[in-house]
Amino acid sequence: MSASTRDTDGASTRDTDGAPTRDTDGAPVVPEGVAEARAVVDGVDRALGSGLARLSPDARAALGELGHAVAGTPLGLAVSEAIAAIERGELLAHHLGALAAGRAAIEGAVCDALLAAMVTSTGLVLEPPTLGPAPAPDARTLALMQSAQQWLVEIALAGFGQLDLSTVSPALAALRTLQEHPPLRRLAALLTGFAHELADAAPTSGSTELPLRRWADLWSTAMLASSALPATPTRRSVTGVLTPLGADLVHHDHLVSLVAHGLFEEDGQPRRLVRITLSVWRVDAIAGPEVFTRLAPLAPELVAAIASPVRLQITGATALGSGDLLWDGKVKPLPGAVQPHAIDLAGATITAPPPRDRHAVQLAVPIVGAPPEGVPLAFDRTSPLAGLDEGDDRGALGFVGLLRYDDGFCVQPLAFATKKELRGPAKGIVDAGKLKDRAAAVLEERAGRLLRKS
C-alpha cells in the first residue's frame, strides 16, 4: 500500500499513486477539537439569548472565551476590541459585526475539519472555491444593508429571550423593499424567514426551550451579510454531460428552493459534483404539493431528469467557482436511463463552501448506494413535501443521500430506488403539475382580471 498525502487543510485526498483514499469502514470520524469549539460558540449564543445590553458574569466569561479562541488570528484584535467595547456599553454595529465574525470564524474552522473528514471517508477530491473580489455596494444597497443591520443590533441588545412584536415588527415592514432589490436577494431570503420565525415565537420572555443555536446562526450570518457584500465566485462557460443524482427541498413560509445535486463531466476536466438551485417566492395560499408548481417551470428538463433519471447534455451553461451550476445553457436529454444510486462517485471533485457558507449546517456531500456503516438516516432533515418516510428504506434497491453533520454525522435521504421508480421530491413536482383547480392558477386568474379592469 502507498502512503496517503494531505492537502494543506489536512484532508486526506489521494494516495501517492493518485488513487482516492478513505477510511476502511467508509464512515467519517469526528475530528478532535470540534466539541471544544462548539462549547465556545454555545457560550456566545447564551449571551445573545440573554441580551448584550445586560451582560451577566457568565456572558462576560463566554465573550472572553471567544476572544481567546480567535487571538492570534487576523480577527483577533477586532474581536478583542469589540468585546471590550460591548462590556463598556458601547453597543455599535461594527462591534457586533466583529462579534459575529469571530463566531463565524470558529464555525468555519469546525466546518473545514468536518468536510475534510467527509471527503476522506467518501473518496472524493476536495478543492477550494475560486472567488473574485467583493463588489462595493451602491448607495441604495448600502442603505438597505444598514437598515437591516440596525434591526439585527436591536435584536442582539434585547436578547433572543426578551423579544416582543415591537422589536421584530420593523423588519417585517421592510422585507418587501429588501426582496425587490436583486443585489440583496440572499439577505432578503434569510431575513424573511428569520423575522417571521421570531414574530411567530414572540413574546419569548419566559420561554424555556428557545432554539438559541439556530437563531444565533441566522443572526450572525445576517449580520455579516448586512456588513459587506460577499466575494463573487468566478464564472466560466461549460459544456458537458450532467447526471442528476437527487434533489433536496428546503423552504420557509415565503420561499421555496430545490437544490439539485449532480455529477458533471466535461471534456479534459475531472468529474465534478455540482449544485443547481431553483428558488421562488411564494404566498400562504400556495401550500402542500402545490409548492412544487412554482418550481417546475424554472427547469422542467432538470426536474424530469431527476424524476425519471436520464443524463443531460448541457451546452454553454455557467459554472461558478462555488461549485454551483447555473441553469442558463441549452439542454438536451440523452437516450438511455441511468441509475443514480449505482454511480461510482469516488475520485470526483467537490468544491469547499465559500467563506460566508463555512458552517456545518451547509455541508452536504452526495453519497449513493447505501449509507456508511453506523451512520444513521436523518429523515428529520427531509422536507415533509419530499414524500419520503422511513418506510421507503425497507426493500429499496439503493438510495441517494447527503452526508451531513448534526452534532454527529448522519445521512439525509434524497431518493430511494425501487423496481418501478426513484422516489424523491422531483416525482412530487411532476405529479403536482397534474393537479387541477390549483391555488396558483386561481390567484393568477384573479390577478389577470384585476389587471384587465385597471
Give the residue from 264, 419, 270 showing the smallest Cα distance to 339: 419
What phi, psi does 165 have (nearest 5°)?
A: -65, -30
What is residue 178's predicted lDDT score, i.e. its pLDDT?
Answer: 94
What is residue 26's predicted lDDT score, i.e. its pLDDT?
Answer: 72
Question: Between the ranges 168-182, 215-229, 268-282, where is the mean pLDDT highest?
Answer: 215-229
Mean pLDDT, range 324-333, rounded to an integer: 96
Residue 135, H or E segment: none
3-class DSSP assignment, residue 449: helix
What is residue 394's predicted lDDT score, i.e. its pLDDT?
Answer: 76
- Are 179 and 253 contacting, i.e. CB atoms less than 8 angstroms apart? no
Mean pLDDT, range 98-115, rounded to an integer: 97
Question: Among residues of the chain, what percentage have pLDDT more than 90?
Answer: 67
- Are 249 and 385 contacting, i.e. CB atoms less than 8 angstroms apart? yes
Give the residue from 337, 277, 336, 267 showing the smallest Cα distance to 302: 277
pTM above threshold 0.75: yes
> CB atoms < 10 A from the CB of 265, how many?
16
Q: Residue 389: which pLDDT band, with cuts at 50, 70 and 90?
A: confident
Which amino acid, one-letter code, is at 41? V
pLDDT higher than 50, residue 30 = yes
DSSP letter for 343, please.
Answer: -
Mean pLDDT, range 392-414, rounded to an integer: 89
pLDDT higher than 70, residue 454 = no
Residue that has been written with the C-alpha cell 442528476 in this structure? 244
Is-cis flag, bond preceding 355, omega within 30?
no
Q: Residue 19: which pLDDT band, with cuts at 50, 70 and 90?
A: very low
Distance CA 358, CA 139 (A): 28
Which amino acid, one-letter code, is at 185? R
What is residue 440's predicted lDDT score, i.e. its pLDDT?
Answer: 53
The pLDDT tens digits of the residues spanning 200-244 come to 999 998 887 899 999 999 999 999 999 999 999 999 999 999 999
Q: Residue 439: which pLDDT band, with cuts at 50, 70 and 90?
A: low
Which amino acid, one-letter code, is at 406? D
pLDDT higher than 60, residue 323 = yes
Average pLDDT, the chain: 87
pLDDT higher than 80, residue 450 = no
Q: Residue 442: which pLDDT band, with cuts at 50, 70 and 90?
A: low
SS3 percent helix, strand, coil of the chain, rounded to 5, is 45, 20, 30
What ranges in 180-285 are assigned the alpha helix state H? Answer: 185-201, 212-225
What is residue 160's predicted lDDT score, i.e. its pLDDT?
Answer: 96
Which amino acid, one-letter code, is at 15? D
Distance CA 411, CA 413 (A): 6
